[in-house]
Chain A
Amino acid sequence: MRRKTKVLTTQVAIIVGLLVLWEAGVRASVIDPFFFPAPSTIVARIVEWMATADFWTDLGITLLETILSFVIGIAIGTILGIWLGLTPFAADVFQPFIKVFNAIPRILLGPIFVIWFGLGLASKVALGVTLVLFVAFFNTFQGVREVNPVVLANARLLRASKSSLLRHVYLPSATTWILSSLRVSVGMAVMGAVVAEYLGSSAGLGHLIAQAEGVLDATGVFSGIIVLSVFVVALDAIVDRIEKRLLVWRPAQAHEA
């Protein structure tokens, strides 16, 4: 407990120290506010944003895109992972294709998706899905493949049918893998949404940042980045809650690892 407080105090000290140095640097004209706007200016900008309805619309749109990418990506990835995990033939056939597709830097698909699906929601979700899908797929695949053989044999000896095995053995086993990758998936979903917005859109946090960049407004870019970080941290906390609740059965050491 004492160690924990010590760690926390040090962390706060580092942040406060950095911010004070930064602020002081700008005020003393050592740092050029054109490139590094003062923290106070950034905070003022965020407060200003928060008073406008547009900002909340942007945030809502990015949130919606993130959630859609996340849910669709996880669903497709999980189904694919279970299918390939349970059918070795299909796995052997499709594995090279999946590897190649996964090797494509997905961000580069953004412009294509904008061409295909337009500037609206669909192109953002499409990019997010391609990012989340693979994380979910690889983890589910692994989870299904690495079911403890003794547990499996035992369930079979208890006369589990195929669907029972799926429901009581394969899925829970894969769930632990999927859950441990949820945090990565959330990050991916946000990234997909924001990058796609940045590449071409009329709303969203990515659009906000792109607009600020367009007029060389560093304050706007920094503010956007800060808002995004808070956004991701908040989502992360929610995912953490879900994970803790679903993995109560796991031994404590594995939790912290």
Chain B
Amino acid sequence: MGQETLAVDLRDVVVRFGDFTAVRNMNLQVGEAEFVAVVGPTGCGKSTILNAVTGLLKPAAGDVLIFGKPLVGLNEQSGYMLQQEGLLPWKTAEDNVGLGLVFQGAPVADAREKARVWLAKVGLKGFEARYPHQLSGGQRKRVAMAQTLILEPKIVLMDEPFSALDVHTRRLMHRILLDLWQADRRSLVFITHDLDEAITLADRVVVMSAGPGSRMVGDVAITLPRPRDVSSLQTTDAFIALYRQIWSLLGAEVEKSYATQD
């Protein structure tokens, strides 16, 4: 195997906003082709971590290493899928998906051709010419997913991408995401507050403490075999055992975050 370089390596990262310490001594290692989910109570600075990995946010202390090299400026290897809707309303689904390629200087015709392939991959064949307002919430999410993945980033960052969807649509999204990842494994950091989602998708679940000054309080390997069946997985004993184990860490932090909110 040889020595494996980590795709993302956060070492003792501290993030401050003025006097407020959002994240304290965060250590997070994500291997190549590893799917890591980060869970934590609301306001614990989960998104802050992604911003540090993208390079949008400079940590006050600590190192951000991307494939072994310190991150300077914006991360060229990462693709970021936001929680909220970010599609251009005046562009069709295919033009939205191909947007990143056009930004890179690709001719529009080429970008469209590639976008059509990606739309088919996320199950939206036939929706190429639709505008975002003509798509459902789940369909828009799929367009957004294709928009991020078409650039083939080595590191995919997702910030609660499916949190606004209903349970059934969310399960569909999980299936699509897992299929895509199974076919072409990349490093993926997935932020969520939903533990079910985290266990269903990830190789590893990292638990963060309640903010401010949140840190990592748990790191659990998800040993469930792949490929996973999204619809039946959550009722298996192994899943429930993992859920209990992680909830014993996360539950306490959620309680704490409620206490500080009052």
Contacts and interface: CB of A to CB of B under 8 A. Distances in A.
B86 A150 contact: yes
Given A153-B82, A248-B131, A250-B133, A158 B103 contact: yes
B88 A151 contact: yes
B160 to A, nearest CB: 13
Nearest to A164: B103
A169 B103 contact: no
B260 interface: no
Given A159-B103, A251-B133, A153 B86 contact: yes
Given A249-B133, A251-B133, A155 B90 contact: no
Interface string B96-120: 0001101110000000000000000
Interface in A130-177: 150-151, 153-155, 157-161, 164, 168-169, 172-173, 175-176
B89 interface: yes
Nearest to B100: A158
B89 A250 contact: yes
Interface string B80-91: 101011111111
Contacts of B103: 155, 158-161, 164, 168
A151 B86 contact: yes
B187 interface: no
B212 to A, nearest CB: 24
B89 A159 contact: no
Interface in B211-237: none
Which of B74, B79, B89, B104 gathers most chain A CB within 10 Å? B89
A255 to B, nearest CB: 11
A157 B89 contact: no
Contacts of B80: 157
Interface string A234-257: 000000000000001111000000
Given A151-B85, A153-B82, A160-B103, 17 more contacts: A151-B86, A151-B89, A155-B86, A155-B88, A157-B82, A158-B100, A158-B147, A159-B74, A168-B88, A168-B102, A172-B88, A172-B90, A248-B131, A249-B89, A249-B91, A249-B132, A249-B133
Interface of A: 150-151, 153-155, 157-161, 164, 168-169, 172-173, 175-176, 248-251
